[in-house]
Amino acid sequence: MPLGTLDRDPPPFFRQGPSALSKLAVCSALALLLMVADARFKVMQPVRVALAAALYPVQWLALQPVELGGRVVNYFSTLATAETAQEEARRKLSMQSQRANQVEELELENQRLRKLLDLTPRLTATFHAAQVIYDAADPYTRKVIIDKGLAHHMAVGSPVLDETGVIGQITRVYPLMSEVTLVTDRDHAIPVLNARTGARGVAFGDTSSHADALELRYMAANADVAVGDLLTTSGVDGVYPPGLPVARVEKVERRVDAVFARIYCVPLGLVSGAEHVVVLDPLSDKIPPRPVPEPVAPAAKSKGAKP
């Protein structure tokens, strides 16, 4: 019989060492012990730290192609976005240049007409920059706190606006901060003017349609109000300067059995996320006081009149 065909394994009688079942039981018990020790006593934490430190260079090398690809894609996408933004900025700049020229001509014409008609000049308000610190703690109101107060010459009633429109009015002043009631607060009202029709109205804060909304109340059911109309401050209250954008009409509901229409508006100012705002000085200090009526002398009694 050839030697190559002989079985080289020793017979089962001479095998030594534990069986496979014993090894499985020991390894399972050891794994369970390590898991319990790691969960209760954090025994394997130093081992994890050492392995992470040792494998970090390998992970860094493996991630380099991915990061390089992401940088290339980000570069081209950023370049395209920058070109688009530059083109949009150029278009807006050209439009603003044209409007600036028209505004200068209209302002000069307005000044000449006011001087010709002997009208009082428009009131101008000074402004102060401020930053929103946090929202008010009352969940039933819409108020924010800004970082300017009595020490910065803030006054109650000062209008507050951002780069897009009016967001509220200062209602309480502290030494180093002030409380601003937003236009969407249910207790806040602001006189507005429809820029398309010239009709005046009063916009109140309303949260029935959604979180940040206003309602133009007390407008007749047949009033000329359409979706998309721009509402600006009318200036008749002596607080807000005229012409500041406030809201835009979103929905108009007219009912046959109702005297007034339900007009819902969306504020133009960023009432929910404004960070930097501008505070205008109230115009009430610059408006001349109302004349005091002269007392009327009592009529003289006639001689024939009975006492």
The reported pLDDT for the residue numbered 204 is 92
User: Encoding tokens for residue 246?
Assistant: 């406030």
The reported pLDDT for the residue numbered 27 is 92
| Beta-ladder partners of 230 | 248
Q: Which of 135-149, 243-257, 286-300 has the lowest mean pLDDT?
A: 286-300
Q: Is the Cβ–Cβ distance between 202 and 217 less than 8 Å?
A: yes
**For 135, phi and psi rounded to 5 degrees?**
-80, 155
Rounded mean pLDDT, 254-279: 88
Rounded mean pLDDT, 121-146: 80
Nearest CA among 211, 212, 248, 251 for reference residue 232: 248
Band (pLDDT 50/70/90 cuts) for residue 182 is very high
Rounded mean pLDDT, 147-156: 88
**For 186, phi and psi rounded to 5 degrees?**
-70, -20
User: Encoding tokens for residue 168?
Assistant: 């509220």
Band (pLDDT 50/70/90 cuts) for residue 170 is very high
Tell which phi-psi region holds residue 165, choosing left (phi > 0), alpha (psi between -120 and 50) or beta: left
Nearest CA among 154, 247, 272 for reference residue 193: 247
Whole-Å CA distances, 298 to 293, 295, 301: 15, 9, 9
278 vs 2, residue with greater confidence = 278
d(CA 246, CA 271): 11
d(CA 87, CA 82): 9
Q: Which of 31-35, 41-45, 198-202, 218-222 has the lowest mean pLDDT?
A: 41-45
d(CA 184, CA 166): 11
Band (pLDDT 50/70/90 cuts) for residue 227 is very high
Tell me: the pLDDT tens digits for 61-94?
A: 988 988 888 888 888 888 888 888 898 888 888 8
Tell me which DSSP letter residue 220 carries: B
236 vs 228, residue with greater confidence = 228
d(CA 240, CA 282): 7
Q: Is the Cβ–Cβ distance between 234 and 267 less than 8 Å?
A: no
Tell me: the pLDDT tens digits for 10-58?
A: 555 555 667 788 889 999 998 888 888 888 888 778 887 888 888 888 8
The reported pLDDT for the residue numbered 307 is 46
Any idea which residue has 């909304």 for tokens? 213
Rounded mean pLDDT, 257-262: 87
Q: What is the CA radius of gyration of the chain?
A: 38
d(CA 158, CA 150): 12
pTM over 0.85: no
Whether 296 has a pLDDT exceeding 80, the answer reads: no
Q: What CATH number should be reported for the domain whose range is 127-285? A: 2.40.10.340
Whether 141 has a pLDDT exceeding 60, the answer reads: yes
Q: Where are the domains of the chain?
A: 23-121, 127-285
d(CA 262, CA 250): 11
Q: Which of 62-76, 156-170, 285-299 has the lowest mean pLDDT?
A: 285-299
Q: Is the Cβ–Cβ distance between 246 and 167 less than 8 Å?
A: no
Rounded mean pLDDT, 93-112: 77
What is the residue-averaged pLDDT of the chain?
82
